[in-house]
Structure 1
Amino acid sequence: MTASPEPAVPDPVSTPAPAIPLRTLRLSIVPALHPPLTGPAAALVDPATPPPRPPHRPGPRPTPEGRRGRSQDLFGPAWSLRDDLPDPRAAGRLLFTTALEALAGRRPLTQVQRLTSPGVYAAVVSGRRPAWCAAGTTPLLVGPVHVCEPVDGVAEVSAVARRSGRAHAVAARLEGVGGRWRCTALSIG
């Protein structure tokens, strides 16, 4: 048996590479939009990526002093500053407990009216009650209330309500009106 000759493999060193067409490069200088970064942050920034937009911050609320400056004959409730308001954590707990017990039928719905704005109260009275809130006899337990104050005189509160071993989220926006907190938005999950 004679061995057949194997096909010859070209030697990569002696084989010439195919010709690559050369392109002329053009250098364009673009002025920088921002001053150059210095320090350790300069290595982390990709110059091709635009800088992030700053987060939205709501503007200031009208102050009672500003309202009085325009006219002396204003009447009705006025915006309250944070220094004139009680603890938002206690107000949030009272709101959540009162609203959940009212929706469960353990207290009259009219008790929610003094804590909420007219629109929120109308939604609570005419709205559908959550099944987990209306059914059952086990007590409703409201956990720790978390508070965020994005603007002077505004507090956003949230908590976890538990019933029969199940957890449900509750959240509200409180605004200082007339020296007390009033709920202007309520979410019961």
Structure 2
Amino acid sequence: MTAPPQTTAPVPARPLRLTLVPALHPPLTGPAVALVDPTTPPPRPAYRPGPRPAPEGLRSRQPDLFGPAWSVRADLPDPRAAGRLLFTTVLEALAGRRPLSQVQRLTAPGVHAALGAGRRPAWCSGGTAPVLLGPVHVCEPVDGVAEVSAVARRAGRAHAVAARLEGVDGRWRCTALSIG
């Protein structure tokens, strides 16, 4: 035999009750407390490349015609495309597939000199397998500055490439380059 089904009566809902809890700390009634030590210097502002000062003799004659002009992000093209072009050009130049002089327009003078004078990574210059460049990742820490990175593959091995791009005269220029 089976037992008859049990019916349960709905439990009446109790009304909500609001209870005020006293504060754990007394309210501040005294003078304001300084949270910053006045003897500590304020933090340095974020790095932002500014216009380079011209030498005194040139500044007095024609101040606006000399030296590079820093560009803001709105005046610059897509950093992802610029990074891909830079990485492709540099890796092909290091592999001997194009002249190193083609890298000069994309890089600062110091970076170009280091590429020409420095030793080339063995994975770039040796072998005949093509260099495949993965997706380019972009980080823009400051207006007018982009840090780009990618993974280059050759003969089944992966290598990191990274660069810092700064906006100068309406285009991206590589000021630091790392090839791992």
TM-score (norm 1): 0.66
Report how far residue 122 of structure 1 moved.
0.2
Matches within 5 A, 1:12-51: none
Report how far residue 82 of structure 1 moved.
0.3
CA distance in 2, matches of 1:172, 1:60: 17
Q: Report what 1:73 is aligned to.
A: 63
State the secondary structure of the residue aligned to 1:159.
strand
Q: Report what 1:61 is aligned to.
A: 49
Counterpart pick for 1:104 among 95, 100, 105: 95
State the secondary structure of the residue aligned to 1:156.
strand
Q: Report what 1:123 is aligned to.
A: 114
Structure 1 residue ranges, 4+ long, deviating more than 3 angstroms after superposition: none
Counterpart pick for 1:165 among 145, 156, 170: 156
CA RMSD, 1 decimal: 2.8
Cα displacement string for residues 121-167 of structure 1 (whole angstroms, at most 9, x for unaligned residues): 00000010000000111110110000000110000000000001100
Cα displacement string for residues 52-93 of structure 1 (whole angstroms, at most 9, x for unaligned residues): xxx9862433269xx9xx986222320000000000000000
CA distance in 2, matches of 1:154, 1:148: 9
Amino acid at match of 2:173: R
The unaligned stretches of length 5 or more in structure 2 are 1-32, 36-42
CA distance in 1, matches of 2:34, 2:173: 46
Q: Report what 2:85 is aligned to.
A: 94
Counterpart pick for 1:183 among 171, 174, 177: 174
Structure index of larger Rg: 1
The unaligned stretches of length 5 or more in structure 1 are 1-31, 35-54
Contact 1:61 1:152 in 2 (8 A): no
CA distance in 1, matches of 2:160, 2:45: 25
Identity of aligned residues (%): 77
TM-score (norm 2): 0.69
Q: Report what 1:174 is aligned to.
A: 165
